Amino acid sequence: MVVADNVHKHYGRTHVLRGIDLEVRRGEVCCVIGPSGSGKSTFLRCINHLEKISAGRLWVNGQLMGYREKGGRLHELRESEIAAQRREIGMVFQRFNLFPHMSVLANVMEAPVQVKRVPRDEARGIAMDLLERVGLADRATAYPEQLSGGQQQRVAIARALAMSPSLMLFDEPTSALDPELVGEVLDVMKDLAEGGMTMIVVTHEMGFAREVGDTLVFMDGGVVVERGTPREVLGSPQHERTQAFLSKVL
Ligand code: ADP
Ligand code: MG
């Protein structure tokens, strides 16, 4: 589902991603851990082409992201083509970024109606099903500010799912939440994983990584230092940098 081949990203002179190689299979839940500043968010943003990579190749669902390769050369896709690729990928951020002036239901309906031109009645039905799935059908008419952070994040997940993505990216989805609200969001993500969604999850929730993750990736300094099953990486980390990091967070 995702293949990163020697992905580099520079911001000016700052070399943030320094040759990321990673494969994520269809249906896999890949959890990503690593110290602050190691490039985790940048990597997620490169996967859906919110950031252009400086070198390397990135494929999602068999498609080269952002480019067409012709005779060994890369040609950037048109905006509309990039937008079409991006629609396959749902993203959930640390901050929920819901539209504050729209109801919960309207938030979830917005992209299908505006971007995919799904008829409103149909979009409403899909949105209600998704709100049911994240346990918030009874809050459909509420506004974001009337919800807890955990509820808002569940709406954000429903909103991402409304576009029927084949890949979901999560960037520290529970980091901004009060501790007692973390569990309800992780439960929704676990349910999604059990439903077969391919997921890349940047998280500090080691319990989630251990229980739900198929693979665990440790990033540091813009590279993948170590990758294995959560049991392998958490239980017997091979690299000194992984050991040092885990000794601080476990
Ligand atoms: P992480 O998510 O692992 O904490 P980030 O991907 O956010 O790491 O950041 C990695 C590095 O890239 C940091 O040093 C950060 O300052 C830098 N960086 C991120 N975004 C930008 C940007 N838009 N411009 C310049 N530097 C950036
Ligand atoms: Mg980050």
Residue matched to tokens 């919960």: 104
Indicate the average pLDDT of the chain.
96
Answer whether residue 87 shows pLDDT above 90: yes
138-146: Cβ within 8 A, 24+ apart: 139/104, 140/103, 140/104, 140/105, 141/103, 141/104, 141/105, 142/103, 142/104, 143/100, 143/101, 143/102, 143/103, 143/104, 144/96, 144/98, 144/99, 144/100, 144/102, 144/104, 144/107, 145/100
Mean pLDDT of 40-67: 95
What is the CB < 6 Å shell around ligand 1?
11, 14, 16, 34, 36-42
- pTM for the model: 0.96
Answer whether residue 96 shows pLDDT above 90: no
Pocket test of ligand 1: the residue of 14, 52, 200 to mutate, having most ligand atoms within 8 Å of its CB, is 14
Pocket test of ligand 1: the residue of 42, 47, 217, 219 to mutate, having most ligand atoms within 8 Å of its CB, is 42
Mean pLDDT of 16-28: 98
Write out the residues surrounding ion ligand 2, Cβ under 5 A: 40-41
**Residue 172 alpha carbon, nearest atom of ligand 1:** 2
CA distances from 58 to 63, 69, 107, 129, 168 (A): 8, 12, 30, 33, 16
Answer whether residue 250 shows pLDDT above 90: no
**ipTM reported for the complex surpasses 0.95:** yes
Contact 38, 32 (CB under 8 A): no
